[in-house]
Structure 1
Amino acid sequence: MKLTPRYILAAGALLILLANAVALVGVYLNRGGEAESRLTLSQRELTMPWGWAAAKENSGLALSLNWRVADPAFGEFGGYGFSGGTPDWLDTARMAALGFDTTLPAEGAFGRRRFERQLPREVLLVLELAGPAWQQALERARQNAARHEAASLANAGSKEFAEKARRAQEQLKREEGANSRLFAIDAGLDRAALRAKYPDRGRYLILKGTVRPRLATHERQTRVTGYVSALAVTQINVPHALRPLLEPALRKHKRTAEDPAPHFEAVIAVGQRLEPWLESVLAAR
């Protein structure tokens, strides 16, 4: 058969129609029935696209889901990784339950590299909004700020201590009013079991994510742990009907150091395929 321009154009149009049909079926299957969870998030958890406000033409708008992991390896000025990290709860037993080989490898760099080359696995991640994990982060920031302020007063005239006190105070302000309150707190393979453990659908999201193995060494003792590396869905499209409610807030420039971001609240729903969508915008300013 001769491939004429008309034939090629028709085939391309058919492929586009098929792709759109598949996408619509996926949306229907995800949103059919009652939502698996429904949370009210703010600009702390839903980040505006980088450079979006300065763009002259915006054919589409998607908000990034901003989540965190309590990772002690980051130290006092950054102990909570954004969008990934190695939490204490992801220990050897949990990694084994997720299907990883947790047998310690032979000592040496080769054994470590071979172990950590295990393929990442898709798991179910539990994300908690404004719960104990965030409260611990907030309390840690307060204690850190108080400790460095006391050290600065005890070492008056020291630029080093004064700088640490300033950084700790800024960190506290970010934790109180800007940082995401959404933390990854658990992982599993059985959605029903996780939902039974975390029944509050207005506080706990269950989303698909990725975990990969890692070896941690502390005081010459090596143990198997894991790294929460990604969510399957990191951006949430803003429906055209909701854009007029969000755009005025998103276009506002930085206000002050204490209040740097636009303010809004939006309801995120998660469907049967564990894919989130923006359901409504409650307030924006």
Structure 2
Amino acid sequence: MKGFRPRYLIAGLALIGLVNAIILASVAWNRQPPAQSQLLLSERELGSTHTYWRKDNSSLALRLDYRWPSQADNEQYGLSISAEKMAALGFQVPAQVSEAAVSRYRRQLDREALLVLELDGPALQREVELVRAAHAAALRLQASVPDSKELQDAAKNAGNALEYEQQRASRLLVVDVGADQQALRARYPDRQRYAIVRGIVEARVSSVVSEWTGEGQDPRPQSQRVTWLLGGSASTPGLHSLNLPRRWHATFDSLPQQDELSGMDYPADQPRFTASVAFGRRLEPWFVEVSVPTTKVQ
């Protein structure tokens, strides 16, 4: 029996070596030029998983922060992907919505899909305009009742929201979802503004209870009071943790540490960094260059 132990050890080491070789080969193939896209990001899009910098840490990971466009009309009520898009992705969307159909819809298995991320483009400008309009409305209300402390606070909060949107919020927004990479790239050809990434799409359902507008007690059965909304949401596990190569760790020496407890953003007058992030053949990102600019990145 003792003679078998070295064989097991050798076999185990060989398996580890094979797995590592496959991983390295996959990374190398992903980074073969040309890159599918390359975006110039800042800390608005790259958040730390813990702190920006610790001298006793041998590794540093950042997450790619993106967001979905706001739904000004609230028609989807929190559903990021419309029912029409879900059908295009291969989900079975019932023509007649009932509790049974809704139950079948939400039980469908998740599907792989592609998300298009837009950097500092029309989607971001729309977000700014929505918040600016809300701020203007809050100021008008405040002016109509100058002594109202509640309206003063509302106007101040709206102003803070506008400042956050313009200076701190991620400039990276999801603008499309699909399954055909070539079709999406043809639709969004600018590789310095649009990145295509892999995601997992899940069928989601929300509901809205309609108010009774008639007289007396609502006579409608519960099934007629609820409107079901079908759609979906998506996640991108591959963007949750991007390891920063060690050669750029020292770049973060000049950056203040992020308060892990409060989760506050860095003050606007603190040094910021820029990072050129490329997306390769497998649509997986990696850092091309990282630096702390002498001028602020807005």
Q: Same fold (TM over 0.5)?
A: yes
Q: 1:73 to 1:57 in 2, by over 3 A?
A: farther
Report what 1:280 is aligned to: 289
Within a 5 Å distance, the mapping from 1:1-285 to structure 2 comes to: 1-2=1-2, 9-53=9-53, 55=54, 57-72=56-71, 86-87=79-80, 90-104=81-95, 107-108=98-99, 111-217=101-207, 221-249=227-255, 251=257, 259=268, 262-284=271-293
Q: How far apart are residue 184 of structure 1 and its match? A: 0.5
In the alignment, residue 90 of structure 2 is paired with which amino acid?
A: G
Q: How far apart are residue 91 of structure 1 and its match? A: 2.4
* Contact persistence 2:52–2:255 (CA under 8 A): no
In the alignment, residue 62 of structure 1 is paired with which amino acid?
A: A
TM-score (norm 1): 0.84
In the TM superposition, what whole-angstrom CA distance separates every residue of 1:191-246 from its partner, at most 9, and x where no partner exists? 11110110000000000012212234566654432222334332211111122223
TM-score (norm 2): 0.80
Q: How far apart are residue 155 of structure 1 and its match? A: 2.0
Q: How far apart are residue 101 of structure 1 and its match? A: 0.5
* Contact persistence 2:120–2:171 (CA under 8 A): yes
Unaligned 5+ residue runs, structure 1?
76-84
After superposition, the CA RMSD in angstroms is: 3.0
Write the distance in 1 (CA, Å) between the matches of 2:254 and 2:131. Answer: 32
Q: How far apart are residue 86 of structure 1 and its match? A: 2.8
In the alignment, residue 287 of structure 2 is paired with which amino acid?
A: L
Q: 1:257 to 1:205 in 2, by over 3 A?
A: closer
Write the distance in 1 (CA, Å) between the matches of 2:153 and 2:190. Answer: 42
**What SS does the aligned partner of 2:200 have?**
strand
Larger Rg: 2
Write the distance in 2 (CA, Å) between the matches of 1:277 and 1:68. Answer: 20
Higher strand share: 1
Q: 1:25 to 1:248 in 2, by over 3 A?
A: same
**What SS does the aligned partner of 2:239 have?**
coil
Q: How far apart are residue 163 of structure 1 and its match? A: 1.9
* Contact persistence 1:118–1:213 (CA under 8 A): yes
Unaligned 5+ residue runs, structure 2?
211-225
* Contact persistence 1:246–1:281 (CA under 8 A): no
In the alignment, residue 21 of structure 2 is paired with which amino acid?
A: A
Q: 1:198 to 1:134 in 2, by over 3 A?
A: same
> Structure 1 residues 249-258 or 207-216, which shifts more?
249-258
Identity %: 36
Write the distance in 1 (CA, Å) between the matches of 2:71 and 2:286. Answer: 32
